[in-house]
Amino acid sequence: MGLLRLSLKRCFLYVFCATVMILLVMNVRQKELWHSIRADGQSQPIRPLPETNKIKMKLSLPLKRQRQKKKTKKPLTVIPRVRSITQDKAFNKVFELSNVTGTTSASEPISDFSDPSKRPWYMKGGTKRPIPAVKSKKTGRRIARLWPDEDPNDDRITNQLMFVPSDYDRSSERPPKKIMIPHGMNEAKVGNELFQWLGCPVSNCVITRDNPDSADLILFKDYVTHIGRRSPNQLWMLYFLECPYHTQTVKNAIVNLTATYRRDSDIVAPYERWQYYDPRITQISQTFNYAANKTKKLAWFVSNCHARNQRMQYAKELSKYIQVDIYGACGTLRCSRSQAQTCFEMLDLDYNAPYRSYIHVDEFESPRELADYLHRLDRDDELYNSYFKWKGTGEFINTYFWCRVCAMVHDNRQPKFYKDVNEWWRGDDVCTLNSWRENENRSHGNRRNRNYHQGNKNKINFGDKGKEILHDIDESNPVIQQFRGYASELDDKHDRYERIVKFSRDITIESKRIIFLLHTIDKESKTDGILSEAKLRLDNLAKTLFKNIAHELNNQDPYQYLRAYTAGLQEYIEAMTFYNYLKDDSLLDWTEVDKNLTYADQTAAAAAAEAAEKNKNDDLDDDSPSEYRTLMTPNEYILGVADLTGELMRKCINNLAFGDIASCYKTCNLVKEIYKGFLGCSGNSSKEIRRKFYVLKQSLVKMENVCYTIKVRGSEMPKHMLADAAIASVENYPPDDDEGYQAY
């Protein structure tokens, strides 16, 4: 058999042909990539924006150092800011890892954001639902980043909204996760209804108000209460929406999870969150001139005039250089809550403030520099409109707090524990006693030391006059130490007062809702059901919000804080007495109300019992109180009953509309008896009682006119016209005589 003969010339020919083919294939592939890049680049051209059109303006330097440019009028055009092709691939990969959109492949496009139906479910019109979480092939763990230690630089809200456990099956009959709420959060109804109504991707949860032993998660709002023995695998979550100065110290509690407005919380809980339709595009062209017809420059709506961050002093200093219109309790202008729509229209028409955009005061060395920039902003429409380039690129989304809580409870993660949640929430490096601008340790960005805001710590601010005087203070001086102690006590008192005011507002709102519920009773309604629900809600107020106030008043002088919650207490008394009248046709005694606001101190009682057990043969003088209460004086009870007469008058007329004439006479007689009681204390009474007495008298006169019309003219006209005639008899009384309520 002969050997294969290869010539050198033939080998060279084969190698040459193979090389040509490889080069040809590489050239064709490179040409296709080049065309694709050009096509993508032409669809969204990248051009440099004018200096005045940058959203994030560099204002760290004083305005006098900034380079002045000639002001030229240009049409309002904004070029979409986009990412490169390489950035898009990395961006898609990040979206795959976080499971934000539900994509499972980096090569798959994120979504067609121009079509609302293809947006995530939590956006308006969005229908895209999450898929079960993707797990790593190496570790077997989920890839989605849900917790602060997994992604500390993000709030992880969208990740949590799009998270579904890999083993979650909506159709299975697994027992639901139980979330127990021991107090507060009355809007969360018991059961599974809330999660179904919200359309949560993970909805196998139920809310309970009792049986803490069987709960998977106990959610404490604002403070931790004693609920008995804790189950070994039970999670405790602390939910704060107020700042640390307006929340109570958590004592001896092992907390697993936190839900606050802070980014390092386990569940970040803002009111809303801005979400781009397409995160690659943060600017779009604007054709509307937002500066057109703008007549005013600066408005401030504020009710707390003594905030710790010294914002009031800053505003007064700013008003020296630019007009600042202050609405509310701290200024001379008014825009009541009842005219909220008018206020918003005024903002749009007169001030035209950049809605949900801001200029940070800390970017300027002084209020004067801020005023200079605002004047410049007012003169330059193009610069002003640059603060609106985000419009149309996204929307503010509901963060679906309860959906995320349910989803996170289902995450199979080893529970963590906060060693000291107070240190995390209000530690030395978290909060400052004065302006937050003085907190160097937690400042962000390239902020410099600013003489106006920081400077020497011995600087004393004299307030309205804006004068600052330096003193050499000897901290070891006993007088200085004494005044430091006074300052700390005053701060504690102010914080306690603010917390009680917040509780009082919540009590007022809930009491008004209960009164409205009671007004829905008529002959055809389920009276017993409405009364039962009202009773349940009244008891819940006493067990939660009023108990919170009682905690705050414990070991304090309650008369110093009575003014903070008297409005809520009067509204509660009005609702309580109104309920009792509809149930028993009688007026509730003030001692019964006081009894509802008195609570047993279980800790003190247990300590007293233990001491008595140890000293059976000794005579102990136990002066420690075994109960604590929310102080209610007879004055608050009288004022609440005076408000009750207005509700009785309205109930009388409402019943008349349904043909219930007999109840009008009965109710009128009760109001007459209350009026006689007020006659005995109207001589040397307070201004508040005299005002309430006037309102009571007007309510009685209206009811007497109604009863007179029924009695005298009842035989002259058909019954179906009697109600209209009775209502017409009180039309001459203006609404202001009855605290803004109409009689019908």
Residues forming beta bridges with residue 634, ordered by sequence position = none
Q: How many CB atoms lie within 10 A of CB 30?
A: 10
Grouping H, G, I as helix, E, B as strand and the rest as coil, residue 648 is helix
Task: Return the axis-axis angle of helices 367-379 and 311-318, rounded to nearest 10°.
Answer: 60
**CA triplet 114, 118, 119: central angle to 5 degrees?**
85
- DSSP strand E in 28-184: where? 177-180
Tell whether residue 242 is among the known ligand binding residues. Answer: no
Grouping H, G, I as helix, E, B as strand and the rest as coil, residue 660 is coil
- The phi and psi torsions of 52 (rounded to 5 degrees) equal -75, -5
Separation between Cα atoms, residue 143 and residue 140, nearest integer Å? 9
Are 596 and 669 in contact by the 8 Å Cβ rule? The answer is no
Are 312 and 338 in contact by the 8 Å Cβ rule? The answer is no
Q: 167 is written with which tokens?
A: 């083993």
Separation between Cα atoms, residue 637 and residue 232, nearest integer Å? 46
Q: How many CB atoms lie within 10 A of CB 18?
A: 10
Separation between Cα atoms, residue 443 and residue 173, nearest integer Å? 50
The H-or-E segment that residue 598 falls in is strand 598-600
Tell whether residue 574 is among the known ligand binding residues. Answer: yes
631 Rama sector, left if φ>0, alpha if ψ -120 to 50, beta otherwise? beta
Separation between Cα atoms, residue 730 and residue 727, nearest integer Å? 6
Taking the CA atoms of 99, 258, 544 and 611 in sequence, report the sign of the dihedral they define. positive
CA dihedral 573, 575, 577, 579 (to 10 degrees): -150
Separation between Cα atoms, residue 678 and residue 672, nearest integer Å? 10
The gap between the terminal CA atoms of the chain, to the nearest Å, is: 119
Q: How many CB atoms lie within 10 A of CB 137?
A: 7
Are 201 and 407 in contact by the 8 Å Cβ rule? The answer is yes
Separation between Cα atoms, residue 283 and residue 377, nearest integer Å? 20
Comparing CA positions, the residue from 498, 496, 510, 565 lying closest to residue 303 is 498
Query: DSSP states of 376-410 as a string?
Result: HHHH-HHHHHGGGTTTTSEEEE---HHHHHHHHHT
Task: Return the axis-axis angle of helices 527-543 and 545-553, rounded to nearest 10°.
Answer: 20
Q: Which residues are annotated as a binding site?
A: 574, 647
Q: Which residues are annotated as a binding site for Mg(2+)?
A: 574, 647
